[in-house]
Amino acid sequence: MKTLKKIAIITFVIALFYFSAWIESHYTRKATVIKIKNNVVTVIDDSNNVWDFEGENFYINDEVELLMNNSQTDCYIFDDIIENAKKI
C-alpha cells in the first residue's frame, strides 16, 4: 500500500510540473480574419501582428481566438506557434 501511495504522489507531482509548464508557455490572442486562400487563413491581431494557419469554415472579418505556444521564448513573439484557432 505504501508503494502505491508513493507512486500516486510522484505521479501527481510530475503532472503538476507539466501543467505548470504548459500554462507558462501558452496564451490566447484575439484576431480578425483578413484573407483566405487555399485553406490558409490570415489574421491580424490587436497589436497588428499578422498570423497564418490552416483552417476551414473561416470567413473574412470572422473574429477568432488563437491558442498560442510561445516556444519557450517569452520575449520574442515571432517564433510563437498557433496550436488552435476557433471562432468567437
Does this model's pTM top 0.95?
no
Residue 26, classed as helix, strand or coil, is strand
Out of 16-30, 41-55, 68-82, which region has the weakest mean confidence (pLDDT)? 16-30
Domain 2-87 has CATH 1.10.3470: no
Domain ranges of the chain: 2-87
How many other C-beta atoms are found inside a 10 Å radius of the C-beta of residue 78? 7
User: Tens digits of per-residue pLDDT, 18-49?
Assistant: 655 556 788 999 999 999 999 999 999 999 99
Per DSSP, the three-state class of 56 is coil
* Nine cell digits for residue 32: 480578425
